[in-house]
Chain A
Amino acid sequence: MANENAPVKAKKVRKVKGRVEIDIQKCKGCELCTVVCKENTLTLSKEINNKGYRYIVSVNDDCTGCINCALVCPDAVIKVYRTTLRKKELIAEISNVSSSVSIKIENPVVEDLKNMEYM
């Protein structure tokens, strides 16, 4: 559906999307998850938790729900969600309603408070 008003894709097309929730009070900032995350979604925050550890935060939307981080996490602080394939078809359905629909896109940035809800 080539259309000059079609949504600009700032990132790759994903079949499946993932999302992590991190128990920041139990996180010890060991960073083992950051090494195994292929999408560079995880990094240390600038804040510290009650125990004085810098905790892990999710900094982009690229998570695929592969659970690599949860597997290696020593303290089991990561809860991983994943969408299913059906979602892609659903979007296609709605998109087909009108080809002139466009959506306002903003580049994802760390300072964007919307990302904080993932914690």
Chain B
Amino acid sequence: MKEETIINKDISEENITAQQECIEDEWEVVYERPYTLIDTHMHYCPGCAHSVIHKLISEVIQEMDIQDKVVGVAPVGCAVFAYDYLDFDMQEAAHGRATAVATGIKRILPYRYVFTYQGDGDLAAIGTAETIHTMNRGENILIVFVNNAVYGMTSGQMAPTTLPGMKTTTSPYGRDVHTMGYPLKMANLVSQLPGAFYVTRQAVNTPLNVRKAKKALQNAFKYQQLAKGTCFVEFVGNCPSNWKMTPIEANEFVAKEMIKEFPLGDLKVPSSEDLKFLEVEEGVV
């Protein structure tokens, strides 16, 4: 419904434009893409959790201003090209061996922030020995584990974390736990190791979860300064393509089914005694 009114002659054009200008001046940027995330098209499927997690890692490292002190290790899996999107020195590891590669890097460069980024096949199938032994030694690195219950890059085979009854290309009748085993709860397993310093499970399917996940990553990177053990951040992710769902449906599946099987939260937190010497900075989530 349009309404026409008369503009009073007393008020000049200037006042009205001044009002417009005031509105323009007051805009501030409250969110923009981090520069440590390379300005390029990412190959991940629409809605993929990998892209969100890449974004969070880039934000955290940018805000901590440690881009020149970070070395990352990329896995074999959908994130094999992580080094094309993250603007840090990175190494590509053989399948499953990222934590061993990270051990080699950290032993040579103890004053760098070293992190691995691995999927469920990489960390929980072929790389289980390396994962457990690296954490058992308490290597001072960060392990980022993206758990989406399938092998994405190779088109949807069963993973060690596939849910019971879930259909994949190698469990076409649904995962039968009697012949195929149970989903591995890696965060729970590794939280029992004395070498683990901070173990948590997060998700990125809602804005609130994204905020919490970023806080977890911030802590995990900061704790590496203390050199008191391994930080392990598991992400309950999604795979819209291989779950045969839209991104919105996939994130609902995460909320309803995945988080039921893999509950979110901290599984091992350092004591305040452990954190005594941590430099406290004015961080913004």
Contacts and interface: CB of A to CB of B under 8 A. Distances in A.
Interface string A81-99: 1111011001100100110
A70 interface: yes
A90 B3 contact: no
A49 B7 CA distance: 42
A15 B22 CA distance: 15
Given A68-B207, A90-B22, A51 B41 contact: yes
Contacts, number: 128
Interface residues of B, number: 49
B15 A97 contact: yes
B211 A19 contact: no
A30 B46 contact: yes
Interface residues of A, number: 50
Interface in B237-285: 240, 246-248, 251
Given A68-B207, A74-B52, A101-B11, A86 B26 contact: yes
B246 A31 contact: yes
- With most chain A CB atoms within 10 A of its CB, the pick from B16, B205, B206, B240 is B206
Contact of A8 (B3, B8, B29): B3
25 contacts: A31-B247, A31-B248, A32-B251, A51-B41, A53-B46, A71-B31, A71-B207, A74-B46, A74-B48, A74-B51, A75-B42, A75-B51, A79-B29, A79-B33, A84-B26, A84-B28, A87-B22, A87-B23, A90-B26, A91-B19, A94-B15, A94-B18, A100-B10, A103-B7, A105-B2
A81 B248 contact: no
B204 interface: yes
A79 B151 CA distance: 32
B70 interface: no
A30 B47 contact: yes
Contacts of B52: 72-74
A19 B32 CA distance: 12
B1 interface: yes
B5 interface: yes
Nearest to A69: B207
B112 interface: no
A103 B20 CA distance: 12
A19 to B, nearest CB: 7
Contacts of B50: 74
Given A36-B207, A91-B19, A80 B42 contact: no
A76 to B, nearest CB: 4
A104 interface: yes
Contacts of A78: 31
B32 A79 contact: yes
Interface in B91-143: none
Contact of B28 (A71, A77, A82): A82
B37 interface: yes
Contact of B4 (A71, A73, A104): A104
Given A31-B246, A74-B51, A94-B19, A79 B5 contact: no
B210 interface: yes
Contact of A82 (B1, B2, B30, B204): B30
A65 B47 CA distance: 22
A82 B238 CA distance: 31
B172 to A, nearest CB: 27
Nearest to A7: B5
B236 interface: no
Given A71-B31, A74-B247, A82-B27, 8 more contacts: A32-B248, A74-B44, A74-B52, A80-B29, A82-B30, A83-B27, A100-B8, A101-B8
